[in-house]
Structure 1
């Protein structure tokens, strides 16, 4: 292997790059030529309306990022200091930070080993009288069973915050993810199904939550006297340029989701027979795999290769990869800055964080590149 690596130079394959079409550029150019470049522009409202129609919710609020959407969503609930919010232990840190910033208490739930989403049985065990909300985050491939979780929330009078940042266009039992929550959020970062560069969206059927979210994204300006602010909000607005790109990309969301599924299926067919890894299947009874990322976990510890080591080995072939999320209970910032309870056993989160990674999955990735990547993975993990 060493001789091969020294003698041959490989073309670099990025883990992801956005696909910007000529139509996208036309939308952007129109906004620029008309001078609509800031958050004061018609495309922002148009994007919000189009997104509401797509998801099937009454209201949408465009914001600067998925993290901003989470922070606004949690603050809009007006929970009391000390109230508990259940979140995944295996997730992006934005889930936790949105809760901590409001002085609320976090309760962590481990993930399932086969879909990496929160274990719903464990969620039920963690619910107490102090539990006021649950952040239901869909992770990587298949959706969390929010259809089941929604019934649990109604029974216990708990607010369901659906984090659908990674699953734009995915359906759960023929209903779009992001339409289950009392309030739901999305991300339009560069690696998402549709992108606005940075950007996010909040959706809800609650007029009250909609009005609060709109105010919070825009510094909570006063209704009577503009600069007499009614609360502590943020400048989390989306620009008209970002919204223009969003309007254009949303028009082809179904073809994008279809393309991602085809890419994922190509990977699955080439990796499924490798006995040393677990890669989720393409379809289950309740949903198709969204393949936001092409993720897998090394299952054979005897190989003495974890996710980090495999990433370094693949990079030598020009294959860029990314590690899995780092579990919340092991976050340095929580141990050193925030006094939160991170005790407990989270064996599934710990395992997949150590042995998981994801592969290149750009929309324009070629079949020969997928074949090359899978050959290298299979040759290393054999």
Structure 2
């Protein structure tokens, strides 16, 4: 099978080659290259390198849907002339006197930049297509088993149980451990609502604790103060890729006879004391939503080292049906299953995990370099040497009274900037569980998530820095 980077090109410039196909190339060649370059289109040249136009993913998809891949249709047949329709592709072709494509200019109007977008390549497309061709498109298939084991291996856990999303993986974890009416689960105040919602959905009572001002996560000290005779479990959330102090929390849980359910939705690949996040718990939960470090579109997984817990999770995930006795239900379960097609995408993402983490770390480093020194902008405090955080979203804090203006100014130039989560104690849905959480409230009022994807290069960061300076003042 030809790899995407082996396609024909008419240039030796790697940046241009990654965005270029020849007009005689097949539709699938263009689709793969447009995915791999992350731009959603390819330049189309003739055999001599002269620009003929461009082929967008949208145009290639339409041609594919109409069966163009079954005929002699090529990229030259779907290419559009470079002109008004290409104004928001974010680049301008640089041509020599003979019309040959020799470079790209990015100092042009840019398309909308979301705060996050899935990073998908020809590998994900091929695996998903292979799962489709296998006809195993539901919740059974080779990719499910492979994805569960590959991801468990990445985290150093023995068993993986894939689920339809990250929220239900938390629900499944608590149901498996028998957590319910009369039980308490300790949850940080600064987290996405799924963490607390699932506690409520199993009938347990969430006990909110403030986060640490430096780590942004719950501390072992705060957890210990919150423990009561009804406490059954602790739910650390590694918010924005920053690990909680898991060695200490695990020791505390063991001493008190409590379960740990790690919410690792935002921290794929992070470590504490050299140990992967997600490996400190009775059950850990990961999300694979489209904005996560690894994605399956929707999807989640529970990891455990306990074979009995894994077996029970599998049974509950599949309607409470005994795997060795089909249609025999010993207790009411759930339909929390992932599909084989989602898992196929996940397998490709796991193979690319180091690349995806490196890209996000690189984007974050660009932001730190460009935005540090702008009045009122600060980045997350450096963590202890024992901690290896990862970048989910690049995060910063800005003056509370300027945040709305900053978000609006970014929106005006097609850049998506998002505020942090609201603290759980501040919202009506959780009023009866609310506690004073000043650190969570402060972070909620001042935090912003910056666009974090491979489209964020030096030129884009410079544009974003210009917006920040227009609102907050110039670098000192």
Whether TM exceeds 0.5 here: the answer is yes
Q: Which residue of structure 1 aligns with residue 240 of structure 2? A: 140
| TM-aligned CA deviation for residue 9 of structure 1 | 6.4
1:86 aligns with 2:177: no
Q: Out of 129, 136, 146, which is 1:36 matched to?
A: 136
CA distance in 1, matches of 2:454, 2:282: 32
Q: Which residue of structure 1 aligns with residue 251 of structure 2? A: 151
CA distance in 2, matches of 1:223, 1:42: 17
1:1-382 to 2 correspondences below 5 Å: 11-222=111-322, 226-280=326-380, 284-298=384-398, 300=399, 304-306=401-403, 308-335=404-431, 340-342=432-434, 344-382=435-473
TM-score, normalised to structure 1's length?
0.91
Structure 1 residues 308-331: Cα deviation after superposition (integer angstroms, max 9, x where no partner)? 342122111211022211111122
| TM-aligned CA deviation for residue 154 of structure 1 | 0.9
CA distance in 2, matches of 1:99, 1:289: 26
Structure 1 residues 176-214: Cα deviation after superposition (integer angstroms, max 9, x where no partner)? 111111110101111111110000010001122111211
Where 2:433 maps in the other structure, the secondary structure is: coil
TM-score, normalised to structure 2's length?
0.73
| TM-aligned CA deviation for residue 14 of structure 1 | 1.3
| TM-aligned CA deviation for residue 59 of structure 1 | 0.6
| TM-aligned CA deviation for residue 141 of structure 1 | 3.7
Q: Which runs of 5+ in 2 are unaligned?
A: 1-107
CA distance in 1, matches of 2:178, 2:389: 35
Q: Which residue of structure 2 aligns with residue 5 of structure 1? A: none
Note closer, same or farther for the CA distance 1:204–1:19 as it changes in structure 2 (3 Å cut).
Answer: same
CA distance in 2, matches of 1:184, 1:155: 19
Structure 1 residues 123-151: Cα deviation after superposition (integer angstroms, max 9, x where no partner)? 11111221110001100042111111111
Aligned residues: 366
CA distance in 2, matches of 1:244, 1:129: 44
CA distance in 2, matches of 1:161, 1:323: 27
CA distance in 2, matches of 1:231, 1:327: 36
Where 1:20 maps in the other structure, the secondary structure is: coil
| TM-aligned CA deviation for residue 284 of structure 1 | 4.2
Structure 1 residues 23-76: Cα deviation after superposition (integer angstroms, max 9, x where no partner)? 111111111112121112111011111112211111110111100100001111
CA distance in 1, matches of 2:201, 2:242: 29
CA distance in 1, matches of 2:411, 2:262: 35
Structure 1 residues 93-138: Cα deviation after superposition (integer angstroms, max 9, x where no partner)? 1111111112111110011222321133221111122111000110
Asked if structure 2 preserves the Cα contact closer than 8 Å seen for 1:66 and 1:188, the reply is yes
CA distance in 1, matches of 2:293, 2:375: 30
Asked if structure 2 preserves the Cα contact closer than 8 Å seen for 1:19 and 1:364, the reply is no
Asked if structure 2 preserves the Cα contact closer than 8 Å seen for 1:141 and 1:280, the reply is no
Q: Which residue of structure 2 aligns with residue 4 of structure 1? A: none
Asked if structure 2 preserves the Cα contact closer than 8 Å seen for 1:295 and 1:356, the reply is yes
| TM-aligned CA deviation for residue 353 of structure 1 | 1.3
CA distance in 2, matches of 1:285, 1:121: 20
CA distance in 2, matches of 1:230, 1:65: 24
CA distance in 1, matches of 2:256, 2:272: 23
| TM-aligned CA deviation for residue 305 of structure 1 | 1.7
CA distance in 1, matches of 2:367, 2:263: 26
Asked if structure 2 preserves the Cα contact closer than 8 Å seen for 1:18 and 1:363, the reply is no
CA distance in 2, matches of 1:133, 1:314: 41
Asked if structure 1 preserves the Cα contact closer than 8 Å seen for 2:166 and 2:285, the reply is yes
